[in-house]
Structure formats: structure tokens, C-alpha cells
Amino acid sequence: MQDVTSAATRAGSERAPVAPPVDLLRRLRARGAGDPVTHVERVPARPGVPVPWPDWTPEELRAAFAGRGVVEPWRHQTEAAELAYGGRHVVVATGTASGKSLAYLLPALATLLTDPRATVLYLAPTKALAADQLRAVAALDLPGVRPACYDGDTPRAEREWIRRHSRFVLTNPDMLHHGILPGHAQWSGFLRRLTYVIVDECHTYRGVFGSHVAHVLRRLRRRCAAPPRSAPRIPLQSGGGLTGGGGPAGGAGAVGGPVFVLASATSGDPATTAGRLTGLPVTAVTEDASPRGGVTFALWEPPLLPPDAAVEPAGADLTQVRRSALRETADLLADTVAEGVRTLAFVRSRRGAEVVAANARRALDEAVPGLGGRVAAYRAGYLREERRELERALLDGELLGLASTNALELGVDLVGLDAVLICGWPGTRASLWQQAGRAGRSGGEALAVLVARDDPLDTYLVHHPEALFGRPVEATVLDPANPYVLGPQLACAAAEAPLTPADLELFGTGAKEAVDALVGTGALRARPTGWYWRHRERPEVDLRGAGGAPVCVVEAATGRLLGTVDGGSSHFLLHPGAVYLHQGVSYVVDELDLADGCALVHPEEPDWSTHARDVTSLSVVSVRSYVDAGPVGLFLGEVDVTSQVVSYQRRRIASGEVIDTRPLDLPTRELRTVAVWFTVSPQALAAAGVEPPDVPGALHAAEHAAIGLLPLMATCDRWDIGGLSTAVHADTEAPTVFVYDGHPGGAGFAERAYATAEDWLRATRDAIAECGCESGCPSCVQSPKCGNGNNLLGKAEAVRVLDVVLAHLGAAAPAGD
């Protein structure tokens, strides 16, 4: 995405031929006793589909792209560009390195060249990405565009020049929220002439953060008057590969305001997500027409340990029954390196990456002394130059193996490797392909291996390749109607300019109620001309939080502020004794001062991680929607959750072994949020063979696995959501499993779970049923987050509960609510 040279093929460097991936894989899987490979998918090489430049492309732009090696665009780039140039809001959701940047640069730059008044605003989730993109645009050297980054690092002296003269401003949502919109008077010239808003990597705007960004974009739209368009517009062309959206042409161009062009990783339903993010009808372009090399993709499930070898440390409540994914990945890395295969291993944590590299080095040195020196770990703490040096060494073959934490930290040139090992599901398909996309030299074949961790979702995925290689189902979710987001954002909007009734429509569902609430608290004053912000100071709103002031993380010895943690997560992440990771550096919390809202930490890198535990109770406030399926009920609604973090567990990073559980003394907290829940009548449970004494364990096991599988449907991780199960709940008067958003007001996860309940619960059922363990393990029904020490879990009974639920939900279709 960073590079515009999408259609240019990278010159393959001269390297010795390596074994074809199929042979390599055969040798790797023949090592142990059983076969750990659950599936092999051959992802064929795909030729690109180049198309001519749109005829509105200015000659100098064509020449500039040609100068950067782009001779012709790929079809999806032109499709998206044509839609945007025709005034339609568009999201291009295609794979890694498919050249999404050209899709938005083409219409934006063409307009800047032909309309000397037009301006463009580009938003990236990180400063680094904006800086990369600035380099790419500046390298095109187009007259009169004057691209510039405007963020917290921009020197004061340059800011005024940028506001007055730049026509292509690159920034991030935080700067838009804290800087540009509050100072909109100084930006009025730029905003009035704003023709395109580019939202890059828009799948990163999810959950509470995404909901805030959605309103920041609405505030932006409010400040933009319709710019006169002098650029020639051509009639819309229809093309293949369009899905979703489908509003009438000229939505934006016709009613004024900038055209939004969004770039997303591949995901489920990108048009709907982009529509929620912008509040506008958005058309999706999803058919990737860029070329790619062939990859043999293996799904790998570490073998079960022999029963007598199962690690069951004292005081533990998680039983390790499989070989750890880290050990398995280290062995694979050693084996591929021993074969002279240049391999990149992705591991989720920095410590994990180091463990993998160290174990691989040791194994190699035992085989051939000195060979271990050709494996390294890639640390986020390294300087940019040091990292580029490691990448160069790997590309040259000087290094053969590298263990790294995150694909996004790597340079864009680090592609064309012979093998990529992915230790644990990286959380989203977008990340998976971002990582696997590093494999595949031009014209050659590469190997990618996903090694499953002890986790229900990993287990499910290695047994359900269609979820990985078929159509994406996970959607990026956000909930702009969350009152805890909407209220503060309306306060910001009112501080920028009084709110009018027309604005309420712009901010959508719940806006009127939120404004009334702000009037009630005295923050806004209602006047005949609108609602006015009453204070001198602007509202302080954190885009990453909802409710509760953020907690500052301070290094005790130096007083240095390392960062902030959302108030809601602070008890979990910053309790005394917690290991806190900041940009890959490890700290341990000495003290959490809740009154001052700060945590004091010191740098330390212990070989354990910490996992907080809480006790929770829940009451139903209201039901928003439900499905009546006879003995089974499915509900979506508001709930109050009362919870207290009571202890934490220390677990060895390398083995996952539990060291101990330590008590904590923290106050209880209240959370009003959105939950999805299902009930099953005791009679239906008994008929399915789940007797009353087994009901609590059955529901508890189903709850854990359901939470573990929700990230399959919505881009969240299990730490964004919570759950509660009970054999009888005071509000439902039935056996019930609740799954709720862990953020005040909800962030869209429970809503997505409700909307996809059948698929979600079927996947949950299959993950449990297909796990080869005897009576429950971390790969199926045990949870690292359990407030209950994973006591009372019924694996077989959970499958029966879910079978009952699915049978009745299926019969109740179509769901009435």
C-alpha cells in the first residue's frame, strides 16, 4: 500500500534454487510421529489484469507514474478510480500489496492537476504510514500539489505554510480531532475546496476507536461546504467486481462535500463497514486484479502430548495437552534453515519471537556448529537502520531465518521469501495474508505454514480451511450510536460550531437523545438557532476510550510518560505486578494509583506474562431485539455488568505453564454495555442428555468457546469481550449464556454476534467437537481469562447444549425480531 509501483514487477534477485514447497512440506511433516498437517491449500499464482489508463488521466500524471515503473494500472485500481472520479464514495478492499494506493491517488491527483483550487486530505492510522505515503506522492514530483504531512511532529513554523499552500495534506484521525477540526477557522480555505478524503487502512478503525473516528469524519463533513467542481466528470462506467453499496451515482458529487475513497484489507462486507464509518453510501471494489506468486499453504496443528507427559503444574487451571506452538515453530524454523530455505517466522509477542529464534539457533548449532548464527530475532526496539540491515541480510541470504513480531514493522521490500511460518492465528485474515504475503519469489513457489496455538479459534481454523481460504466472513465492526462515544463527539462538534437540527441527522441514531443529555448536564445550551457549547475550554475527548479517564503509564525512575491506557482496561492491564508492554519494551507495574489515574512502572523483562482475573455479575436493562425459538431464545440488549479484578496469574512465556495466582485488592466497577445472550429451557437440556448437575459446566464451556470464536465474525480479540454463564439467571429465569462488549455502551461486537448467531455458534460447536483432547483444553473450552479458574467445564455437554440451540435457531429461521 505504501508503494505506488504496483504494476511494476520487482526484479527477482539471483538466488540458488530451493526445493519446491511441496517436497519441503513432505519432509517437514514426516519428522514426528503423527501428521500435524490438517490441510494443504495450493494458492495458485495469478496473473495480473492490466487495463488502459482512464482517458481523463492527465498526461503528466501518466508520465509520473511511468517514471515510477507503473506502466498500466490493474483493473481493480481503475474501477475504484473511475467510481471516485465520477463522484461515488468507494472502498477498495483487496489483498496486501495489490496497489490500493494507486486506486485513490489516480482520481485525487488527476483532480489536483486539472482543478487548481481542489484540495485532498489523506488519513492514515499511523504517522509512519503517512510519512511513507508522503514520500511516494512527493516522488511523483507533480507541479502545484505540494504534499505535506501535518501531525504532532510538524514544526509550528511550517504549519501555517501547509494550511495555506499544501493541496495534499497527510494526517491521522487524532490530529484531525485534536488539531484541524478545533482550528477549522484557519483551515476554512482548505476545507471548503476539499475534493477527496482518502481513508487508508480503514479496517484499523474498529470498536470504540472506530466509532470515535466515524464521528470525527462526520465533524469533518460538517465543516466542508460544497466545493465548486471544475474538474471534468465522465459518466460512470459499470464494471465487474463491484459488490455491495450500490447507491445511485453521484451521491457525493451531487449533494456536495468531498468524495471519500477508502482502502481496506479484505474483510467481510467492506461496503457496510465503510458506510458506517463515513455515514455515506459506499460502493466496494473487491476483485483483486494484481498478480501474485503461488503459495503452498499448510495448516499445522501441534500434536497432543502423550497423556503422561501432559504438563499440569501445581495450582494450574490450564492443562497443557499439546506441544506448544512456539516450540513447534522453532523446530520448523530450524528445519527450513537447515535446508537453506530463507524463512520468516511471525510470532505474536516479542518475547515469543526471541524464544523461537533462540530455540531454533540451539537446534541448528547442535546439528552443525555455527549454523545457528544464521537465525536472528527482529526486535521492535531496534532503530530503523538496524532493522533494514537485518532485512537486507535476509534478502541476500546472509541470514536464513528471522523471527519477527508484526508484519507492519517490516520494510515493504522484504518480500519474496521462500517460506513464512505463522505462529498462532494473527487475529484477522488481513494480518494472515499480510504475513503470508511475504512469501513467494517472482516466478517461483513458496511455502506458508500456520501453526495453531492452544486456542479455540486456532483449532477451528486449522480444521475449517474454508474459513481461511473461502470468502471472508469477519467484518470490521464499529457502533457510532454508542452513547458514550456519541455524547462526547457531539460536544466536540458543538464546540466547533453550534449544532443544528440538520446536524442531528448527520450524526445519526441517538444524536437527539445525546444532545438532550448534554443540555441536561449543562454542557450545551438550547437556543432557537441551535445548541451551543457553554464552556470556555474545549471538551477533552480521547478517541481510544469510552467512559473513564485514561490512566497514565509513568516510568517511576525518570517520570517519563510512556503512554495511556483506557480507563476500562486499566485494572486488567496495569494492576500491581502486571507485565506491561510498550512498543515492544517490557515493564512491570509497581503501583496503580486510581485516584491520580496513573500507574508507576519500571523496565523489566521477566520470562512470564500476567493474566488478570475478575468476578462478574450481570443484570439485563432492556431487550433490543430477540428471536423466539421455542425452548431456545436469542437476545440482544443492554446490560449492566459489575466486575472486580481479584487476582492475576503468572504464566511462563515459553511453555504457557502457570507459575502462580496472586490476589489483588481493586474496587468493583460498573459497566453498561450491549450483550448477546441465549437461553435454553432445562427440559430441552435434559432431553439432550444434559442433566441438571452438568448444566453449569456445559454452559460455562460453551461460553468460553463462544467468546474464543467471536473474532471469526468480527475483528475483535477475546479481550474486547466478556462473558457470563449461569444455570439460572434472575432476569431470564433460565439457563443462560451472556457475551458482552467490554466497552461502555458497546462497540458493535455483540451486535455482530447476534446478527451472525447461527454461524458463530455453529463454529463454536465444531471447534469444541473437533478438538482431539479428552475433556477440555485451552484449544477448545478453557480460557486464559476465566474468572473462575477454568473450574467446572463440560466439554461433551457443551456440544449438546449448542446442538439444542442450533437445532431450534435453525428451525426458527427466518429470525423474527
Residues lying near Zn ion in the complex (CB under 5 A) are found at 771, 773, 777, 779-780, 786, 788
Q: Say how far apart CA 460 and CA 187 lie, in whole Å.
A: 50
Q: How far is the CB of 328 from Zn ion (least distance, A)?
A: 17
Q: How far is the CB of 703 from Zn ion (least distance, A)?
A: 7
Phi, psi of 557 (to 5 degrees): -70, -35
Taking Cα atoms as reference points, which of 180, 84, 175, 171 lies closest to residue 123? 171
Between 565 and 773, CB nearer to Zn ion: 773
Between 636 and 707, CB nearer to Zn ion: 707
Q: What is the largest CA-CA distance in the chain?
A: 83
Between 176 and 316, CB nearer to Zn ion: 316
Q: How far is the CB of 787 from Zn ion (least distance, A)?
A: 6
> Where would I find the H helices in 30-99?
59-67, 75-85
Between 680 and 786, CB nearer to Zn ion: 786
23-to-296, 445, 541, 622 alpha-carbon distances in Å: 11, 11, 56, 59
Phi, psi of 140 (to 5 degrees): -75, -20
Between 244 and 456, CB nearer to Zn ion: 456
Between 483 and 723, CB nearer to Zn ion: 723
Neighbours of 318 (CB within 10 A): 23
Q: Say how far apart CA 432 and CA 421 lie, in whole Å.
A: 11
Between 275 and 696, CB nearer to Zn ion: 696
Q: Say how far apart CA 59 and CA 598 lie, in whole Å.
A: 57
Q: How far is the CB of 312 from Zn ion (least distance, A)?
A: 15
Between 112 and 457, CB nearer to Zn ion: 457
Q: Say how far apart CA 179 and CA 731 lie, in whole Å.
A: 46
Q: Which helix (H) or strand (E) holds 213?
A: helix 207-223
The DSSP result for 472-490, as a single string, is ---B----TT-HHHHHHHH
- CB proximity list for 300: less than 8 A, separation 6 or greater: 36, 37, 38, 328, 332, 449, 450, 451, 452, 462
> Where would I find the H helices in 146-194?
156-165, 173-175, 188-192
Q: How far is the CB of 455 from Zn ion (least distance, A)?
A: 10
Q: Which residues pair with 723 in a beta bridge?
A: 739
Between 523 and 780, CB nearer to Zn ion: 780
Q: Say how far apart CA 323 and CA 729 lie, in whole Å.
A: 38
Q: How far is the CB of 767 from Zn ion (least distance, A)?
A: 9
Q: How far is the CB of 780 from Zn ion (least distance, A)?
A: 3
Q: How far is the CB of 701 from Zn ion (least distance, A)?
A: 9
Q: How far is the CB of 716 from Zn ion (least distance, A)?
A: 18
Q: How far is the CB of 459 from Zn ion (least distance, A)?
A: 7
Between 44 and 306, CB nearer to Zn ion: 306
What's the one-letter identity of residue 489?
Answer: Q
Q: How far is the CB of 671 from Zn ion (least distance, A)?
A: 17
What's the one-letter identity of residue 13?
Answer: S
Q: How far is the CB of 567 from Zn ion (least distance, A)?
A: 24
Q: How far apart are the first and last CA of the chain?
A: 42
Q: Say how far apart CA 160 and CA 790 lie, in whole Å.
A: 58
Burial group, residue 488, by CB count within 10 angstroms (0-12, 13-18, 19+): buried
For the record, the C-alpha cell of 625 comes out as: 431485539
SS3 state at 77? helix
SS3 state at 401? strand
Q: How far is the CB of 781 from Zn ion (least distance, A)?
A: 7
The DSSP result for 503-529, as a single string, is HHHHH-TTHHHHHHHHHHTTSEEEETT
Between 360 and 706, CB nearer to Zn ion: 706
For the record, the C-alpha cell of 371 comes out as: 549454523
Between 574 and 777, CB nearer to Zn ion: 777
Q: How far is the CB of 36 from Zn ion (least distance, A)?
A: 16
Between 477 and 771, CB nearer to Zn ion: 771
Q: Which residues pair with 726 in a beta bridge?
A: 736
Between 387 and 765, CB nearer to Zn ion: 765
Phi, psi of 157 (to 5 degrees): -60, -30
